[in-house]
Structure 1
Amino acid sequence: MRLLNWLSESADERPDAVQINGRGVPWVELRRLAAAVADDLHGLDRVAVEAGTDLATVVGVAGALLAGTAVVPVPPDAGPRERDHLLRDSAAEAVLVPAHGKCRGDYAGRPRIPVDLTHRSDSTRPEPDPAGTALILYTSGTTGAPKGAVLSRRAVAACLDGLADAWGWTPDDLLVHGLPLFHVHGLVLGVLGPLRLGSRLHHVGRPTPERYAGAAGSLYFGVPTIWSRITAVPEAARALRSARLLVSGSAALPAAVGTDLAALTGRRVVQRYGMTETLITVSAHADGPHRPDTVGLPLPGVRTRLVDDGDVPLPADGETMGELQVCGPTLFDGYLHRPEADAASRTSDGWFRTGDVATIGPDGWHRIVGRAATDLIKSGGYRIGAGEVEDALLAHPGVREAAVVGIPDSDLGQQVTAYVVSDDVAESELIDFVARQLSAHKRPRQVRRVDALPRNALGKVQKSQLTTE
């Protein structure tokens, strides 16, 4: 099967099969537009794509993949230093940019290939090698410049097929979302998913509650920030009752948001888990049970395990926390030009070290506690999951957002410290509130009020910025 199977094979001429930020095209026309881009690439090995939320981005990515050219998405808001690093590190030979409109950067002297939405082609070409590179996605760690994760066409296909199985994702669906098109969530799931599986796609542009409500989709993707804003506008949330599936990812969905969303929409939110390096590996199923505090079961072909600090396997008893390791067909091929980082990310028997702390139940259900570096707090001999404390804080009616970290402490090792966006609630009240809900040793020793939590483009809280303040 071709990677973009539906795009390559469909004879569907329905208008607005793919609609991006107000501009739509039928499948047949999208294929012809992408074929014209593929013609312009002339066998280039890899190409950067200026990844805005526009039709030109979708056409450019699709055209490169039809041509067998690896895609390096460049965030539209990337500064000169970041943009230069992505281009030089990836050795992108050219940059696909919109033919009309302002170009966002100089792109280090690379040739620019315009994506002209008036040009079409009926050319065809053989399907590239499934082992070939589809995407080089840059992911930031805690130190150093972003690393390029090399993802094969085979891995992308395995991820999307696994999600189609878990979510019952078919050409009858209309997928709605407003996610950035340079990450796994928005680009791989949110664009390549429809191009492979055949669902129509409506990207709403800026993801406001009103735009989500007005799209009349059957399948919605969002991050916790989006879902939280939707629940704050009850009439918008109630408009999603006709959807069959709401999916949340890229960060943990606060329990209170999931509860409110279920009450307003009549739909339990499906959560899933993955990383740039692994794509999506674990998810709840559309037709199965939903457990608000978990991310589900491994997708077909994916294996998972928990280990301690010495890589010794831990029991899947639903209580024991350990680092989650995964292996399977969705894993990346490695970090570009980073053999040391690549070696450090894998065990000697081939498992990928996610760096995430989780529990696995006897029935296989996974609960993600958080990042080992920031979300597993070792305080006074106890191992405390930051997410559990955050959920407890968010249950207080005066707390709107919460992030919990471990701050170095000479006595405890780490001190449980909370940052909250809240009404005028006393620190002592919040500490006592958590202590009444959880074990006393899990209570925050300090609560700091902030105006906002630092977040990235997908809504993930950047805890490293809190701990360096």
Structure 2
Amino acid sequence: MSPLFPALAAGSTRPALQFGDQALSHAELATVAGALAARIAGAPRVAVWATPTLGTAVGVVAALLAGVPVVPVNPKTGERELTHIVTDSSPALVLAERGVELPPILAGLARLDTDVDHVTDATDVPGEADPAAPLPAEPSPEAPALIVYTSGTTGPPKGVVLPRRAVAATLDALEDAWQWTETDVLVHALPLFHVHGLILGILGPLRRGGSVRHLGRFGTDGVARELSSGATMLFGVPTMYHRIAEALAGDPALAKALNGARLLVSGSAALPVHDHERIAAATGRRVIERYGMTETLMNTSVRADGEPRAGTVGVPLAGVELRLVDETGAAIAAYDGETVGEIQVRGPNLFTEYLNRPDATEAAFDDGWFRTGDMAIRDPDGYVRIVGRKATDLIKSGGYKIGAGEIENVLLEHPGVREAAVTGEPDEDLGERIVAWIVPAQADAPPSAEELAAHVGAQLASHKRPRTVRYLAALPRNDMGKIMKRALRG
């Protein structure tokens, strides 16, 4: 297998990583990460305390160069969940920025500091490293690269074992879909303990031989600054793009910066159509969406040379097979923009297993196809429209199968609605009734339930109108901005 990071192996002098005033070229990263790799080689696994810093990126790259599986750890993880992750993955040591205080469950492990100024100082553990040594040989494509823990919405988080093959396949498929080259400069402010921020946002530019500028903390001023000074791509989650949309009316510099970007990409959750349209109207540029999961990495995307259609996640990436199935597991042949089915995928982008969970691994597949649990429809031209999660977003009301996502998009078009979520709850007559959870634009003057039902009924079929409306000051969200619908209860 060719190197996961060809530019590091070649000693490219192009910029690679920038976090604030700290920066490394590919050649410099090869030196510092190579030195750290020599010190951890042979370890069964390492945990990385994934702060949004240069040291985190160096630590992850070092482990990948050494062929040691990486367990990224969210610094905000609670004690019970963190204990489960550490106990389940059994890392031999932890990589962290110098001076960072670790919780007790990690403090008992051997520790290596990842600060760029200190990675060649081998005083923490025995053994000296030669910073000029050649990089290690590339491991097998099936060797584990990362073990990323899921959110654990239905039990303790599961460790998703991602092989090097899956990382390379996804990043190369995105090279094709996004026309991603070594001249691209990515800017983002995403956390570094999950697929979007770490694999796409850090490892993606490194594999392409390009560069990434991490903002540390999201802010529209930082986005405008970097896109105005050479950055060509922006990755974000819907919450970030919503804040951008809110700021555009009073910030012409931000609008100009976004207009100059080559690619604006949103992921990790659906970007409301309303925010799509506001950004397009103010900047002349369309945000594109892609669709993936921890277990599958990326499955689909709107292509850079395709139609940036709001409300869709594009078409399957190169090498990815995608099908929709009905409740019996039978494949749905229709490309009619109406028939809802569960997405199943297979291809080189898939994970190997859930760590220590052969039962869960077996249950996740249907004759080689991974059951995503996501519900979608397909347009006649193959574009995929996700309507929600099978467990929380598919509402069966009055004999109809209804996707929560399309109702949410219509609700967000109402001027009196700032945020919206739609769920189903038991109903003796309908089976399930549609419930709208609304954060009003003006807390003291929320739109009435009747007004919102009429608004939805005018845009969609009448059976998709919310039967109940509940008002909140804010919707519960996780670190990635995803709405936690399981926390919404009547």
- Normalized against structure 2, the TM-score is what? 0.92
* Secondary structure of the corresponding residue to residue 235 of structure 2: strand
Query: Structure 1, residues 326-365: CA drift from partner, whole Å, max 9, x if none?
Result: 0001000011111111111101x21000000011233221
- Pairing partner for 1:452 from 474, 481, 486: 474
Q: Does 1:325 align with 2:339?
A: no
Q: Does 1:175 align with 2:186?
A: yes
Of 359-368 and 214-223, deviating more is: 359-368
Deviation at 1:103, TM superposition (A): 3.4
Question: Which residue of structure 2 aligns with residue 218 of structure 1?
Answer: 232
Question: Which residue of structure 2 aligns with residue 186 of structure 1?
Answer: 197
Aligned equivalents of 1:263 and 1:314: distance in 2? Answer: 36
Question: Which residue of structure 1 aligns with residue 12 of structure 2?
Answer: 11
Q: Does 1:111 align with 2:110?
A: yes
Question: Which residue of structure 1 aligns with residue 369 of structure 2?
Answer: 351
Contact 2:234 2:261 in 1 (8 A): yes
* Secondary structure of the corresponding residue to residue 488 of structure 2: helix
Aligned equivalents of 1:21 and 1:339: distance in 2? Answer: 43
Q: Structure 1: 5+ residue runs without aligned partners?
A: none
Aligned amino acid, residue 430 of structure 2: L
Question: Which residue of structure 1 aligns with residue 454 of structure 2?
Answer: 432
Question: Which residue of structure 1 aligns with residue 312 of structure 2?
Answer: 294
Output aligned runs, 1:254-333, within 5 Å: 254-317=272-335, 318-333=337-352
- Pairing partner for 1:152 from 163, 166, 170: 163
Aligned amino acid, residue 332 of structure 1: F
Q: Does 1:77 align with 2:70?
A: no
Contact 2:16 2:209 in 1 (8 A): no
Contact 1:306 1:316 in 2 (8 A): no
Question: Which residue of structure 1 aligns with residue 220 of structure 2?
Answer: 209
* Secondary structure of the corresponding residue to residue 324 of structure 1: strand
Contact 2:54 2:115 in 1 (8 A): no
- Pairing partner for 2:207 from 196, 216, 224: 196
Q: Does 1:230 align with 2:241?
A: no
Q: Structure 2: 5+ residue runs without aligned partners?
A: 121-130
After the TM superposition, which segments of 4 or more aligned residues of structure 1 sit over 3 Å from their partners?
100-106
Aligned amino acid, residue 116 of structure 2: L
Deviation at 1:6, TM superposition (A): 2.1
Aligned equivalents of 2:8 and 2:82: distance in 1? Answer: 30
Aligned equivalents of 2:420 and 2:455: distance in 1? Answer: 14
Aligned amino acid, residue 452 of structure 1: A
Question: Which residue of structure 2 aligns with residue 339 of structure 1?
Answer: 358
Aligned amino acid, residue 84 of structure 2: H
Aligned equivalents of 1:172 and 1:247: distance in 2? Answer: 17
Aligned equivalents of 2:42 and 2:400: distance in 1? Answer: 56
* Secondary structure of the corresponding residue to residue 365 of structure 2: coil
Aligned equivalents of 1:404 and 1:441: distance in 2? Answer: 14
Contact 2:83 2:105 in 1 (8 A): no
Report percent identity of matched pairs. Answer: 52
Output aligned runs, 1:83-162, within 5 Å: 83-107=82-106, 109-118=108-117, 119-120=119-120, 121-124=131-134, 125-162=136-173
Structural RMSD (CA) = 1.4
Aligned equivalents of 1:141 and 1:410: distance in 2? Answer: 31
Deviation at 1:102, TM superposition (A): 3.5
Of 317-326 and 18-27, deviating more is: 18-27
Aligned equivalents of 1:237 and 1:449: distance in 2? Answer: 32
Question: Which residue of structure 2 aligns with residue 31 of structure 1?
Answer: 30
Deviation at 1:105, TM superposition (A): 4.9
Aligned equivalents of 1:17 and 1:114: distance in 2? Answer: 20
* Secondary structure of the corresponding residue to residue 17 of structure 1: strand
Contact 2:299 2:317 in 1 (8 A): yes
Question: Which residue of structure 1 aligns with residue 53 of structure 2?
Answer: 54
Question: Which residue of structure 2 aligns with residue 441 of structure 1?
Answer: 463
- Pairing partner for 2:268 from 250, 257, 270: 250
Aligned equivalents of 1:112 and 1:195: distance in 2? Answer: 25
* Secondary structure of the corresponding residue to residue 304 of structure 1: strand
* Secondary structure of the corresponding residue to residue 318 of structure 2: coil
Contact 2:343 2:371 in 1 (8 A): yes
Aligned amino acid, residue 198 of structure 1: G
Aligned pair count? 465
* Secondary structure of the corresponding residue to residue 301 of structure 1: coil
* Secondary structure of the corresponding residue to residue 130 of structure 1: coil
Contact 1:87 1:108 in 2 (8 A): no
Aligned equivalents of 1:11 and 1:307: distance in 2? Answer: 46
Aligned amino acid, residue 290 of structure 2: R
Aligned amino acid, residue 90 of structure 2: A
* Secondary structure of the corresponding residue to residue 478 of structure 2: coil
Deviation at 1:391, TM superposition (A): 0.9
Aligned equivalents of 1:10 and 1:255: distance in 2? Answer: 43
Aligned equivalents of 2:430 and 2:414: distance in 1? Answer: 26
Aligned equivalents of 1:237 and 1:76: distance in 2? Answer: 33
Aligned amino acid, residue 110 of structure 1: L
* Secondary structure of the corresponding residue to residue 99 of structure 1: coil
Deviation at 1:106, TM superposition (A): 4.2
Contact 1:209 1:237 in 2 (8 A): no
Q: Does 1:392 align with 2:410?
A: yes
* Secondary structure of the corresponding residue to residue 96 of structure 2: strand
Deviation at 1:70, TM superposition (A): 0.2
Aligned equivalents of 2:411 and 2:74: distance in 1? Answer: 34
Contact 1:17 1:200 in 2 (8 A): yes
Aligned amino acid, residue 287 of structure 2: V
Aligned amino acid, residue 413 of structure 1: G
* Secondary structure of the corresponding residue to residue 388 of structure 2: strand
Contact 2:17 2:24 in 1 (8 A): yes
Query: Structure 1, residues 177-215: CA drift from partner, whole Å, max 9, x if none?
Result: 000001100000001001111121100111111111111
Aligned equivalents of 1:104 and 1:465: distance in 2? Answer: 27
